[in-house]
Chain A
Amino acid sequence: MKGSAGGILFVVAALLVVGVALPLVFWVTGSPFIARLGQLVLLTVVLTIALNLLTGTAGLLALDSVVFLGFGAYTGAILSTRFGTSFPVELLVAVAGTAVIAFLLGLLLVRLHSVFFAVATVGLAVSFYTTVLNWGDLTRGAMGIPAIPPVRIAGYELDGWLATYMLAALMALVAVFVGHRMTHSFYGNAARAIREDEDAARSMGLTPRFIKAQIYAVHGALMAMAGVLYAHVNSFVGPDNFLLLESALILTAIVIGGLGSLPGAVLGAVLVVLAPEMLRQFGDLRAIIFGVILFLAILFLPRGLLSEVRSLAWVRRLDPASPWARRKRRS
């Protein structure tokens, strides 16, 4: 019982900080820059959690995150500029469409293993960029899509920083929920078993291809969700928003946070967004300093700041609904 109270307390505290305390700080400081930064952190949290499910938990090294982020962003941009759709409609189209496409794509891709899978995803990211660049009728090519209107829900335009911040917070909440359910469950065990030894997992009755394709689909759907909001808050999307480099940055975040660790994915997102800002005082040196910090982090903490093993144990202690609590109840 003590454990369950701890878990609920933790969730309530996190919600209060992100949903009340931080917006208050933004309001008091009156700085739109800080609010935008908070929003960016929250959207990045969605991306790191999505990639962490795929790369951390299921062990598939993927570099095509930007493809699904791009799907979402372009869906939002095209629908809203051409048809004036509302935000929920865009979300539905982007998330459902990406989930289906990513699942089918996943079934093909996960036939490949290790570095071959990684190379295939690089190929996918490159072809996405080329397609967006050359399919001018749909994407306006290199010019990109400017003047994307603010988010519209039920006839209201939400263009204030608080509204979009809250939407980003809501998306981060969805991602944390999905990540939590998939990581800290027997489904997560199945995914980790497949990652550790696919043959042994198969001889225990698991279907690796199917489970990996499902996770690939969830990863894509979460990315697309973030992409829709990204298009609106940025009010512009172009092919250069979706370079391979962005995928690498998300990957860096989850490696620093701890591969396979949900709290690690959140921490990683916070660090990769905020650290470059904090290093701003160093001027041109900041890219080098940031790089050195990343290098040292990976050198000395190969399992990340919050390792998977420790995070799993910690979350299971706090979560009253986890099947792991059953053993404690019995004994």
Chain B
Amino acid sequence: MTVRGEGTGPAPVLEVEGLTRDFDALRAVDDVSFAVMPSELLGLIGPNGAGKTTLFNMLAGALPPTAGRIRLQGRDITGLAPNRIATLGIARTYQNLRVFPDMTVFDNVSVGAIGRFGVSLWGTLVPGLERRRSDRIADATIAALERLGLIDHADAPAGNLSYGQKKLLEVARALTLAPTLLLLDEPAAGLNPNETEALSLLVRTLADEGLTILLVEHDMPMVMRVCDRIVVLDSGRKIADGAPRAVRSDPAVRAAYLGDPE
């Protein structure tokens, strides 16, 4: 669904313009602008306290911006509620796992599909009325479980999964929303090298299949390896925006981030 202008190339999926957020006297995000193009895997990095999470939360609707605009496929979504933003096409995962522990893996993943297709009380009460919608939800859930290799665990309580599997569960749940843009909040945090490797591969494959992804990550090698382009934040400001190779050798980035012995 890319809109092509006259020789201007595809329109961006996400446009962030002058985004700013203050916490009392502290300016956590300061006049940040960037765009995410269709099927692009954009990495967002920066040292601790750079404002990555604040920016992420504004994009997901969890935090209203102090100033600036966010546009999804040309539509202004600034300050909309998280559920509106989700149904408009932005799905997210959480840095600290937010699975529904007492529900099965299948039921967890179905929640994204429920958000996408909706549920109604009447349709639930009257037999047959909701049949097609239920089938769609079930099919989307099964597809996502198969995609992420969780189908064999479908009936297990989500609380019983390993840490890495729970991360995959969150990705599966987000995918059932059939998002225009997938926001991943530090997906590699807490994973062992093997799991990180598998996750990198998955994220890269999803992008290659045409999904637009914004990846906020701490794991530098992973970001450098998988991302098409990288935006670097430092103290709330954007200090670099470019290809991994260019960003790596950027003196401002080296000073702010890479030189910093994390």
Residues of A within 8 A of B (CB): 178, 181-182, 185-187, 189-190, 192-193, 196-197, 199-207, 211, 214, 218, 308-309, 312-313, 321, 323-324, 326-327, 330
Contacts and interface: CB of A to CB of B under 8 A. Distances in A.
A309 B104 CA distance: 8
Contact of A326 (B62, B94, B103, B138): B138
Interface in B94-145: 94, 98-104, 106-108, 110-112, 114-116, 119-121, 124-125, 127, 130, 134-135, 137-139, 142
In the complex, the 4 A-B pairs of residues with the closest C-beta atoms, listed nearest first: A205-B115, A205-B86, A196-B100, A187-B124
13 contacts: A178-B125, A185-B130, A185-B134, A186-B110, A186-B137, A202-B82, A203-B86, A205-B83, A205-B177, A309-B157, A312-B104, A327-B154, A330-B142
Q: Which of A182, A187, A202, A205 has the most CB of B within 10 A?
A: A205
B110 A200 contact: no
B134 A186 contact: yes
Interface string B175-187: 0010000000000
A201 B82 CA distance: 10
Interface of B: 60-62, 81-83, 85-87, 91-92, 94, 98-104, 106-108, 110-112, 114-116, 119-121, 124-125, 127, 130, 134-135, 137-139, 142, 154-155, 157, 173-174, 177
Nearest to B128: A321
B112 A205 contact: yes
Contacts of A207: 83
Q: What is the predominant secondary structure among interface residues of chain A facing chain B?
A: helix
B134 A204 contact: no
B62 A308 contact: no
A194 to B, nearest CB: 9
Nearest to B170: A200
B111 A204 contact: yes
Contacts of A204: 83, 86, 91, 111-112, 114-115, 173-174, 177
A192 B102 CA distance: 9
Nearest to A178: B125
A323 B100 contact: no
B119 A187 contact: yes
B103 A196 contact: yes
Contacts of B174: 204
B100 A193 contact: yes
Contact of B121 (A199, A214, A313): A214
Contact of B125 (A181, A200, A201, A309): A181
A133 B104 CA distance: 47
B142 A192 contact: no
B102 A196 contact: yes
Contacts of A218: 121
B119 A190 contact: yes
Contacts of B107: 189, 192-193
Nearest to A205: B115
Contacts of B121: 182, 187, 214, 218
Nearest to B112: A204
Nearest to A204: B115
Contacts of B92: 203
A211 B120 CA distance: 9
B58 to A, nearest CB: 13
Given A187-B121, A206-B111, A206-B114, 11 more contacts: A181-B124, A185-B130, A186-B124, A187-B119, A190-B111, A204-B83, A204-B114, A205-B87, A205-B112, A323-B134, A327-B142
A294 to B, nearest CB: 23
A320 B120 CA distance: 21
Contacts of A187: 119-121, 124
A323 B140 CA distance: 12
A168 B135 CA distance: 35
Contacts of A192: 100, 102-103, 107
Nearest to B110: A189
Contacts of A330: 142
A324 B61 CA distance: 32
B138 A323 contact: yes
Q: Which of B119, B125, B177 has the most CB of A within 10 A?
A: B119
A327 B105 CA distance: 13
B103 A189 contact: yes
Nearest to B89: A205
B124 A182 contact: yes
Contacts of B177: 204-205
A215 to B, nearest CB: 8
Contacts of B60: 203
Contact of B83 (A178, A181, A206): A206
A257 to B, nearest CB: 16
Nearest to A214: B121
A196 B114 contact: no
Contacts of B94: 200
A202 B119 CA distance: 14
A190 B174 CA distance: 15
Contacts of A185: 119, 124, 130, 134
Given A186-B110, A193-B100, A199 B155 contact: no
Nearest to A321: B127
Contacts of A201: 100, 111
